[in-house]
Structure 1
Amino acid sequence: MSWSETTLKLPGRMGSALGAQALASWRSIYLTAVVLVLVVTPSSYRRGARGMLAQQIYVQTAPVLTGFTALAALLCAVIARIVMVTAQSYGLSHYALDLVVRVMVIELIPLTAALFVAMRCTIPAGVQVVQMRTRGQLDTWRRQGVDPIRAALVPRAAAGVFAAITLAALSCIVALVTVYISVYGFNLAGFGGYTRVFGRIFTPSLTLVFVLKTWFFSLTVAIMPLASALYTPVARHRQGGAELGGFARMFAVLLLIEVISLMGNYY
């Protein structure tokens, strides 16, 4: 193929790629709306559904709590030490504690928790949905009058949201304790000043942005892998490109949410 022919076909390829990305984003938004409606529907919590939901919450949350807590504590200790030493070397030690709390608790911890849940929980849950599609289990449920979204996706999506929020809350507590120990050591001498710094940083508007950001992070990592698993053709999953494309879209959405939250906090 000549260079001129490739150049002529480039706009068409770009248009097809943008259309595919727009369709995937719309499917994710649609699935999010459907899942949220089903989550608040009482019929979604019948006896069998409650057992499936409890199982998914346990499977996606309990096995990763210890590992992520240790990772969060180590990460917070290292970053807090780096920031404190750097601030002291430039004579800015009175700003170091504010900077550590803002960077660790408000910005870094929620994003780290969301990515951790995506890699360890929700992307493997999406692989399970792909395997169910390959075996024909979703089609069997449809023939039996069972909604596959209610049976297969709602428990996994709700468990993913629960896991992301739980890890974010736990890691924030770990970060606050680790930062305090890194600055003041194992004593209560700086507890009063530390709580005043914390109260000064977490204003009502910043707290609202933080809660909304954590909520949208959890929805993103819970829904987008399942949307990719449900709507992407099985043949593409077998080729191995669907998971990578879905992760790229999810990461782009997470970055967009982070940028919007930064604008809400600092502009």
Structure 2
Amino acid sequence: MSWSEITLRTPGRMWASLGRHALAWWRSIYLAAVMLVLVASPSSYGHGARTLMARQIYVQTAPVLAGFTALAALLCAVIARIVIVTAQSYGLSRYALDLVVRVMVIELIPLTAALFVAMRCTIPAGVQVVQMRASGQLAAWKARGIDPIRAALVPRAAAGVFAAITLAALSCAVALVTVYLSVYGFSLAGFGIYTRVFGQVFTPSLTLVFVLKTWFFSLTVAIMPMASALYMPLARRRQGGEELGGFARMFAVLLLIEVISLMGNYY
């Protein structure tokens, strides 16, 4: 292929790539809106739908609780020790507790819980949806008048949101206990100081940002893998490019949410 042919084909390939990315983002946004409407609709909670959703919530949440609790406790203990020792070495011991609470509970815990749920729960659930498409199960449901999004995607996405919020809340409690033990040990002498620092850190505005960030993190890791699974071309399934593109979009949204939350907290 000559240089002139490459030059002529490059703009076309760039426009085609931009078009695919724009279409993928639009499909993710559209599916998110559809699924939020279906979740808010009472018709999505019939007897069979409630049973399926309860099963998905249990499958995606219960098996990972113990492992994530242990991981969160270990992570909190290590980071708390590093921050405390570093602050003491610079003569900033009075700021150590405030810094640990801010770093662990506000910044790291929601993101860690969201990524853990994505890797262990929602991405495997998306793989299940792809397998259902490949086997023709979704098409068979649609032919029988059953909405595939309502039957297959909504329960898995709702379970992903529940798992992310549950793990974030659990890990926050674990982090608070671990940080206290790292600073004061098994003594109640520092309980008053610790609760006062906690109250000073969690102002109403910061608490609102924390809740919204956790909520949007959970929506992102629950919906983005479902969108990739539903709209991924099956002919390109083995190449892996579509899966990587879906992961990249999910991480980009998580990063954007984190940046916006940092701006809301510190600017």
| TM-score normalised by length of structure 2 | 0.97
AA partner of residue 227 (structure 2):
A
- Name the stretch that deviates more: 235-244 or 205-214: 235-244
* Secondary structure of the corresponding residue to residue 145 of structure 2: coil
**Is 1:194 equivalent to 2:194 in the alignment?**
yes
- Map of 2:241 onto structure 1: 241
> Tell me, what secondary structure is at the counterpart of 1:91?
coil
1:106-185 pair list within 5 angstroms: 106-185=106-185
- Determine helix, strand or coil for the equivalent of 2:146: coil
Letter in 2 for 1:22: A
Deviations 1:123-176 (A, max 9, x none): 000000000000111111111000000000000000000000000000011001
For the residues of structure 1 that align with 2:262 and 2:4, how far apart are their CA atoms?
Answer: 44
Give, in whole Å, the separation in 2 of the partners of 1:207 and 1:230: 35
Q: How many residues align?
A: 267
For 2:224, the equivalent position in structure 1 comes to: 224
1:25 counterpart residue number? 25
CA distance in 2, matches of 1:19, 1:105: 39
Instruction: Rate the CA distance shift 1:3–1:93 in 2: closer, same or farther, 3 A.
Output: farther
State the Cα distance separating 1:120 from its structure 2 match: 0.3
Cα separation, 1, equivalents of 2:221 and 2:245:
14
The Cα of 1:95 is off from its aligned counterpart by: 1.0
3-state SS, counterpart of residue 52 of structure 2: helix
Q: Percent of aligned pairs with the same residue?
A: 85
CA gap 1:136/1:191 in 2 versus in 1, 3 angstroms: same
Counterpart AA for 1:246: G
How far does residue 240 in structure 1 lie from its aligned partner after superposition? 2.3
Point out the more displaced range, 243-252 or 171-180.
243-252
CA distance in 1, matches of 2:110, 2:187: 28
Q: Mark the runs of 5 or more structure 1 residues left unpaired by the alignment.
A: none
Q: What is the deviation of 1:43?
A: 1.2
Q: Distance in 2 between matches of 1:11 and 1:253?
A: 27
Cα distance in 2 for residues equivalent to 1:183 and 1:7:
63
Distance in 2 between residues matched to 1:11 and 1:102, nearest whole Å: 47
Q: Deviations over 1:224-247 (max 9, x none)?
A: 000000011111223222222211
3-state secondary structure, aligned to 2:82 = helix
* Aligned residue identity for 2:215: W
Displacement of 1:5 in angstroms is 3.9
Instruction: For residue 9 of structure 1, report the CA deviation from its aligned partner.
Output: 3.2
How far apart are the structure 1 equivalents of 2:147 and 2:18? 31
- Separation in structure 2 between the aligned mates of residue 40 and residue 149 of structure 1, nearest angstrom: 14
Counterpart-to-counterpart distance in 2, 1:258 and 1:12: 34
Residue 209 of structure 1 corresponds to: 209
> What residue is the counterpart of 1:59 in the other structure?
59
Pairing of 1:29-44 with structure 2 (within 5 A): 29-44=29-44
Question: What does 1:61-80 align with in structure 2 at a 5 Å threshold?
Answer: 61-80=61-80
Question: In the aligned structure 2, how far is the partner of 1:264 from the partner of 1:4?
Answer: 50
Query: TM-score, length-normalised on structure 1?
Result: 0.97
Q: Given residue 113 of structure 1, which amino acid in structure 2 is its aligned partner?
A: A
Report matched runs for 1:5-20 at 5 Å: 5-20=5-20
Q: State how far apart, in whole Å, the 1-side matches of 2:58 and 2:116 are.
A: 16
Cα deviations by residue, 1:60-116 (Å, 9 ceiling, x for unpaired)? 000000000000000000000000001111111111111111111001110000000
Distance (whole Å) between structure 2 residues aligned to residue 51 and residue 57 of structure 1 = 10
Unaligned runs of 5+ in 2: none
Distance 2:206 2:21 in 1: 32
Report the Cα distance in structure 1 between the residues aligned to 2:54 and 2:137, rounded to whole angstroms: 21
